[in-house]
Amino acid sequence: MIYLDSAASYPLLPEVKISLMKAFEECYANSASSHLLGTKALLETNMIREQLADMIGAYPSEIVFTSGATESNNIAFKSLLLSTSSKKKHVVISAMEHKCIFAICDFLKDQGFSISIVMPNKHGVIDASSVSDVLTEDTVLVSIMHVNNELGTVNPIAEIGKLCFKKGILFHSDAAQSFGKTSIHVDDMNVDLMSFSGHKIGGPKGIGAIYIRDLRKRDLVPVIHGAGQEQGVRGGTVATPLIIGFGVAMSTFHKSYQSFEKKMIRDYLVEQLSNAGVEFIINGSNTLAHIISLSLPKTNIGVLVRDNEQAFCLAQGSACSSKEIEASHVLMALGLSREEAEHTFRISFTNDIQKTDIDSLVASIKKAKK
C-alpha cells in the first residue's frame, strides 16, 4: 500500500513508537503529583515545552499542550474572545482555513461576533492587502493559516502579522501543516497565537499545542474547565506519554523532511505525468514539497479510485470533506467548478516515498483515462 495522505495524518515514526512504549511504561504518574514519579513526569513535559518554545522563538510559559490543532484553534478563538475584557466583535479568517475554523466562527456568530472571510488569489495564497481591506476599528482577531492543507500553499504570515501588529489586532495562525517542515519564528512572523499538531509530523494523534504570546498577562477563558492544568487554560491530566512522543517527533521529523525535499518528488511526478501524456492542472503555486493538488480533467476518477483501492491511499479533496458529497471549500474558493473539484486529488507524500511509487501512481492514472 502506498500512502499518499500524509497531510491528513502522518504515519507514526519508529522512533516515536519506541519512545511512546517506554513512556507509557515508565512515565505513567500524574505530573501534578508531588512524589518522585510525578516530578519526573512534570520534568519530562516541561523539557518538551522548552524544546517547542526554542523551536519557534517563544517562552515555555507561552506553550499550552492540547489534544491537537483543532483544540488549539478553539482555544485561540474562544479563550481570548469570550473573556469579559474583549469588547471588539469582528473576526477575520480566510476562505481556505481548516474546517474547524468555520465551525468555531459559526459558534462565535451566535455569540454576537461578525466574521469576514478573505478570498485567496489565483495562486491559492492569501494576500496581505486582501486582509488589510477588511480590517475595521472593531476587528479583534485575524486568523490565517500558515500552510494550506489541501494545496500546500504558503501564506505571507510575517506580512499579515506586521499589519495586525500595527493596528493592535490579535493574529493567530494555524501551523498544523507547516510545523516541522518550514521554519517558524513567532516574533519574526508577528503572531500572537499559533496552533500545532503532533500527528502531522509522525507523532501520536491526540496531542498538539498552542502558543499564546504573553499568556500569563492575558485574561483567558478556559476551553476545558479543570483543576488548573496548563496554566488554567486547558484542564485535564497532562498527557505525559503523548507529549514525550510529540517531542521525539519534533526532534526527528525535520531532518527526514529535508532529505525528502531533496528528492524533488513533486517535480518528478509532474514530469512523469507529462511523459505519460496525462492532462493535468496543478492547483496553487509555490507550495511546500509534501503536497500537490492535481486536477485530472480527462481521468475517470471513479475508475482510478476503485481500481486502486488496495494500491494507494488517495484523498479526493481533504480528509475531512472527502467522504461528503459537498465539494472542497478550498477548491471552490480557488474558483474551480464542482466538476473540476470532483476531478481533483490532494496527494501528500511521506518522507520515505520512492520514485518507483510515483511510477506506479502515474501508470494507474494513465490507465484510468476517459
Ligand X SMILES: *Cc1c(COP(=O)(O)O)cnc(C)c1O
Q: Can residue 329 be called a binding residue for ligand X (CB under 6 A)?
A: no
CB-wise, 305 or 320, nearer to ligand X?
320
Residue 328 or 364 having the CB closest to ligand X: 328
* Interface residue with ligand X, options 49, 78, 181, 200 (CB under 6 A): 200
Q: Return d(Cα 97, Cα 95) in angstroms, integer.
A: 6
For residue 287, list its beta bridge partners: 153
From 102-110, 172-180, 229-237, 280-288, give the range in contact with ligand X by CB under 6 A. 172-180
Q: How far is the CB of 154 from ligand X (least distance, A)?
A: 12
Nearer to ligand X, 200 or 329 (CB): 200
Task: Compute the distance between CA of residue 32 and CA of residue 63 in angstroms, rounded to an integer.
Answer: 17
The stretch near ligand X (CB under 6 A) out of 67-75, 254-262, 263-271, 286-294 is 67-75
Is 90 an interacting residue with respect to ligand X (CB under 6 A)?
A: no
Q: Supply the DSSP string of 274-289, one letter for each residue.
A: HHTT---EEESSSB-T
When the beta carbons of 186 and 330 are compared against ligand X, the nearer one is 330
Q: Binding ligand X by CB under 6 A: which of 197, 272, 283, 293?
A: 197
| Binding residue (CB under 6 A) for ligand X from 80, 176, 304, 353 | 176
C-beta of residue 276 within 8 angstroms of C-beta of residue 59: no
All three cell numbers of 249, joined, read: 517527533
Identified binder of ligand X from the candidate list 3, 68, 90, 343, rule CB under 6 A: 68
Q: Which residue has the cell 531532518?
A: 255
Phi, psi of 193 (to 5 degrees): -145, 135
Those residues whose C-beta lies under 8 Å from the C-beta of residue 251, and which sit 6 or more positions away, are: 51
Distance CA 178, CA 168 (A): 25
Q: String of b and e for 49-65 (b: at least 16 CB within 10 Å)?
A: beebbebbebbeebbbb
C-alpha cell at 216: 500569563
* CB distance 144 to 157 below 8 Å: yes
Pick from 62, 174, 192, 340: which binds ligand X (CB under 6 A)? Answer: 174
- The closest residue (CB) to ligand X is 68
Q: By C-beta, is 253 or 280 nearer to ligand X?
A: 253
Give me the catalytic one of 27, 105, 313, 320.
320
- Residues in contact with ligand X, total (CB under 6 A)? 12
- Return the axis-axis angle of helices 14-26 and 240-262, rounded to nearest 10°: 170
Residue 59 in 3-state DSSP?
coil
Can you read off the three cell numbers belonging to residue 202? Answer: 509522525
Does 105 qualify as catalytic in the annotation?
A: no
CA distances from 250 to 63, 127, 157, 188 (A): 14, 30, 21, 20
Site string for ligand X, 122-151 (x = CB under 6 A): -----------------------x---x--
- Closest approach of Cβ 70 to ligand X, in Å? 3
Among 177, 229, 287, 295, binds ligand X (CB under 6 A): 177
C-alpha grid cell, residue 112: 454576537
Q: Which is nearer to ligand X, 176 or 361 (CB)?
A: 176
Region 203-262 residues binding ligand X, contact defined as CB under 6 A: 208
Q: Select 176 or 304, whichever has its Cβ closest to ligand X.
A: 176
Secondary element (H or E) of residue 142: strand 139-143
Instruction: State yes or no: residue 69 binds ligand X (CB under 6 A).
Output: yes
Q: Which residues are catalytic?
A: 320
Residues making contact with ligand X (CB under 6 A):
68-70, 98, 145, 149, 174, 176-177, 197, 200, 208
